[in-house]
Structure 1
Amino acid sequence: MADSRIASLTPAELDVEQKALYDSIVTGPRAQGPQLFALQDDHGRLNGPFGLMLHVPGLGSALQELGSAVRYRTAMTARIREIAILAVAAATESQFERYAHERVGHAIGLSDEEMTALRGGDFGSEDATEQAAYDVCRHLLGGANTLGDEEFRRFEAHLGHSALLELVVLVGYYRTLSQMMNVFDVGAPAGLEDE
């Protein structure tokens, strides 16, 4: 990974607003249970998009809250959520999201073969709902900003309107994180990019 274009902040460097955001991230749902990926480095600096969020805490707080809702307060199955996140990571070439969510994906039961297929953009599932969710993501990530009437009806028939809305928000959120990290050259933690 190249050096980031923006400094990673240590806890000692944070102002009051940044410290409040930092605390909400390191004590929130991402930090509960088994730690499948490194949220912080050895100096307490936040990895991935979280370190970027600290630089603009008013925006960062809203982003991290939306991310928490997408990850922990939707009706998506864990498999569909991780399939969708990994589809975004592959399409946007996000090292951090791939690093973090392949670990989560393995923990919730995605196989090595499924991970390879997701990396290559050719995932397939015998589960019609999983396949429809993946197809929605690939469609949106392929440059489309909408679904045609026929596609919308097909995807809504498999997923329902609530799940379809959740997926659209998930794709937009993770695309935003990936774009932030790509612009500021933030990748996976050093030494872990290709694990």
Structure 2
Amino acid sequence: MSDRLPRLTPDQLDESQRAVYEGIAGGDRAKGVQHFPLTAEDGSLNGPFGIMLHSPGVGAALQELGSTIRFRTDLSARIREIAILQVAQAVGSEFEWWAHERVGRAAGLTDEELMLLSLGSFSSQDPVEDECAAFCANLLRSSVITDQEYEEAGAVLSRAQMIDLTVLVGYYRTLAQLMAVFDVGVPGNEQTPVGVPRHAH
């Protein structure tokens, strides 16, 4: 974490904090291949997850929403990671980029695609991917979708996909803001890739 919030280890948690911890470290995120470490060597949670423990009521709802976005929508893994990386780039979130570049590579994003995402200029030959990226870019640019943008998105995307993308952008913006306020970056000696904007703390 940072000097603003202490890192909480498992032995320091009360019952409500432990429930949040178990939801993160023992939930869907912990299943299968781990593309980035959820916990440090002392068992404390990395990134936004450690922040959630300090407000377990909100943290429980946030981590459940995040798990739903990651594992229980109809968005493809590539589309989900493209959208998350668009948020990371737009708001300059070091941790989000560091973590989801790894997940994105596992979902099939190429070096060239990641470079374009880092520049905020991603496009795709796949019409659904391309429209999802355009929809997210519009949200990140102005926080609103015009009637024309809505019609263009609706010609390619389902209502559920537009809802899922809107919630995804809001959720990862929230995590980025939490990490900016509490000065939380990438863990340990890990490095954020060159070209990714960084928050000024």
Same fold (TM over 0.5): yes
Q: Partner of 2:76 in structure 1?
A: 77
**C-alpha deviation, 1:193, in angstroms:** 2.5
1:146 partnered with 2:170: no
- Taking the aligned partners of 2:192 and 2:174, their CA distance within structure 1 comes to 23
1:59 partnered with 2:71: no
Q: Secondary structure at the match of 1:158?
A: coil
Deviations 1:126-185 (CA, angstroms, capped at 9, x unpaired) = 11111111111111111x232111110101111121101110000000000001001111
- Taking the aligned partners of 2:191 and 2:174, their CA distance within structure 1 comes to 20
CA contact (8 A) 1:187 1:193 kept: no
- Taking the aligned partners of 1:51 and 1:4, their CA distance within structure 2 comes to 13
Q: CA RMSD in A?
A: 1.2
Report the count of equivalent residues.
193
- Taking the aligned partners of 1:137 and 1:192, their CA distance within structure 2 comes to 28
Q: Partner of 2:199 in structure 1?
A: none
- Taking the aligned partners of 1:25 and 1:160, their CA distance within structure 2 comes to 30
Q: Which runs of 4+ in 1 moved over 2 A?
A: none
TM-score (norm 1): 0.96
- Taking the aligned partners of 2:8 and 2:104, their CA distance within structure 1 comes to 29
Letter in 1 for 2:22: D
Q: Partner of 1:189 in structure 2?
A: 187
Letter in 2 for 1:159: L
Q: Report the identity percentage.
A: 51
- Taking the aligned partners of 1:131 and 1:64, their CA distance within structure 2 comes to 28
Mapping of residues 87-166 of structure 1, within 5 Å: 87-142=86-141, 144-166=142-164
Deviations 1:22-65 (CA, angstroms, capped at 9, x unpaired) = 11111100000011101000000000110000000000000000
- Taking the aligned partners of 1:125 and 1:4, their CA distance within structure 2 comes to 41
Deviations 1:53-84 (CA, angstroms, capped at 9, x unpaired) = 00000000000000011010000000000000
CA contact (8 A) 1:4 1:186 kept: no
CA contact (8 A) 1:9 1:45 kept: yes
Q: Partner of 1:37 in structure 2?
A: 36
Range with bigger deviation, 8-17 or 43-52: 8-17
- Taking the aligned partners of 2:172 and 2:113, their CA distance within structure 1 comes to 20
Unmatched segments (≥5 aa) in structure 1 = none
Unmatched segments (≥5 aa) in structure 2 = 194-201
